Structure 1
């Protein structure tokens, strides 16, 4: 086995486990906002159903992502970034709490399942996600490391 191949296996084994589930959960929460806005404009019940399903999927995958983030944090996969991982973890927990209450609101019937409370909670969750993106960008955690 060559040295480059051994180093590449080592780099892959140290990749954080939580990144993919976080991206899927975030996509679900952003999709919830989009379907809520569409329901608000059209009053077509299908869009409220889509929102409810996206919230459910986002919550399930988001809880998995938080658990994997804790595993990453305590097993040393985030060795150099452990200090800057806590705000991200807490921000993702805030998004999950907002989305949980949003799912409770979306469980109601008809117009009140989305407008105005559900739509407001969807906007709040996406704003927190945007703030998390800015926070991670400011920490410079999105740099690509080249292993030679």
Structure 2
């Protein structure tokens, strides 16, 4: 028999899109800090906006689902993603400034913190997800 692979939770699958937007925001912030080209700052703003719109819907649905269904172990991860969402909202406000200070240093710092939290949520989800054993 073929071993069953562990299924990735649906919430984590959905959150991968906004998470990738936030990671790309960090990368465009770094490039902007090195090059001073405003196109990279604009790319950061667009990535933040798209990531925020998608994450807002997913986090609200995920928190509601976890609360209603009593999925308390996954509630920690979902609250962590809500914190990432709140920090990203502040980051979007910082990125709405004019000039170099729209990214450096506060916007870049917030982007780094968001990515570190996302990595932490990823590790938490990986180790908190029950694994299925192979059927012999």
Please indicate the TM-score interval, normalised by the length of the shorter structure.
Answer: 0.7 to 0.9
Q: 1:112 deviation in Å?
A: 0.4
Which of 77, 88, 91 lines up with 2:77 in the alignment? 88
Which of 19, 26, 36 lines up with 1:43 in the alignment? 36
Residue ranges of structure 1 left out of the alignment (5+ in a row): 1-14
Task: Answer yes or no: is the 8 Å Cα contact 1:105–1:117 preserved in 2.
Answer: yes
RMSD (CA atoms): 2.2
Higher relative contact order at CA 8 Å, sep ≥6: structure 1 or structure 2?
2
Task: Answer yes or no: is the 8 Å Cα contact 1:25–1:61 preserved in 2.
Answer: yes
Task: Answer yes or no: is the 8 Å Cα contact 2:77–2:121 preserved in 1.
Answer: yes
Shift in alpha-carbon separation, 1:32–1:145, aligned structure 2, 3 A: farther
Which of 56, 61, 65 lines up with 1:63 in the alignment? 56
Task: Answer yes or no: is the 8 Å Cα contact 2:84–2:114 preserved in 1.
Answer: yes
Q: Which residue of 1 aligns with 2:4?
A: none
Q: 1:134 deviation in Å?
A: 1.4
TM-score by structure 2 length? 0.83
Q: Which has the larger radius of gyration?
A: 1
Alignment of structure 1 residues 12-27 onto 2, 5 Å: 17-27=10-20
Task: Answer yes or no: is the 8 Å Cα contact 2:88–2:114 preserved in 1.
Answer: yes
The size of the alignment, in residue pairs, is: 128
Q: Distance in 1 between matches of 2:132 and 2:38?
A: 43
